[in-house]
Chains A and B, each alone.
Chain A
Amino acid sequence: MDPIFGIHASALLLRSQRMDVLATNLANADTPHYKARDFDFATALDRAAGRGGLRVTHRRHIGGPSSAPSSDLAYRVPHQPAVDGNTVEADLELARFAENSVAYQASLSFLDGRISTLRLALTGGR
C-alpha cells in the first residue's frame, strides 16, 4: 500500500467492504434460509498489509490466499436461530454496522490528518 497513507487506506477500503456485508445481512433480515455473513477485520487488515499468510520470496513460490476479503467471508453462528433458517439477528447487525461506521470515520480522520500534515509540509504554513 502507499506508504504516505500507511495502513489507513487499506483499512478504509476494508471498512467499506465490511459495511457492504453488514448491509447485505440487514437487507436479508426477513429472507428465509439466508445465512448471515461477516469477515474478521483484523485478519483481513493483516492480509492487506502483507502480514499473515505466506510470504513469497521467489517468483516460483506459491503465495497464500488472496487479499480479497470476499474470499474469507464466514457464516455467523446465531445466538437464537429462527425457524425459517434465517440466521440474521437484526439488532446485533445494526450494532456492528454502527461500530463499523464509527471505525470508518476514524480512518477518515486519520487520512484527513495525514493530508493536512502533508499540505503543511508542502506549503510551509503559508
Chain B
Amino acid sequence: MIDALPRVDRPLHLETPLSTVRALLEPTLTPLIDPIDPITLFDGAATTFDEVYQREYQALLGLGFVLTGSRPIAEDLVQDTFTEAHKRWTKVAEYDNVGAWLRRVLVNKSTSRGRRLMAEAKMITAVRARRTAHVTIPEDSSEVWAAVRALPKRQAQTIALFYWEDRPIAEIAEILQCGDETVKTHLKRGRAALARVLPNENGPTA
C-alpha cells in the first residue's frame, strides 16, 4: 500500500550510512512488519535448521529405531526427513511446531516396506564392508519393541510416540493428524494387544 510506506523527515542518499538509514526507518517500519516469529519446537526454543538438526537427530533416530527395529533404516529415515525439511526450510521454519512436522514425516516414511527392504540391503552390504553400527539393547526390551512393531501401524506409532517420546495425547494427535480421541483409542487398543503378548504382572491393562 502506497499510503503505508514510511515517511522520513530528511532525504536519504546512497552515501547515507546504513546505520543512519536503519535508525531513520525503524520507528516507521516496525509497526508495518510482522514480528519474526522464532521457530518453536516442543521446548519453545528459537533456532535454525542446524540447531534443529543437532537437537532433534537423536530423538528422531530413536523413534525410527523403535518403529523399524533397525538402526541403518532409522538413519535412512532421519536423513530423508531432514532432507525434506531442508528442501522447504523457509516454509517449515514458519510452522508453529517443527518438531511435530519432522515426526509426522518420519512416521509416514517408516511405513514403506520397499524402503525397509532397500535399507536392509544397504545394511547388509555395509556389514560386508564392516562399516555399520547397531543399537544394543537388552533382549527383553528388544522383544517389547518387536511386539509394538507387530501392532497395526497407527497403534504402533501411537505407542512409540507415547512411550519413547513421552508425548502427551494432544501432541501425538497433532503429529498423526487425527483427533485426541483417536489417539486414546489407538493407545488403549495397542496396550491391550501388548498386554496379551507380553508377560506382565498386571495382565491386560486396557
Does B associate with A? no
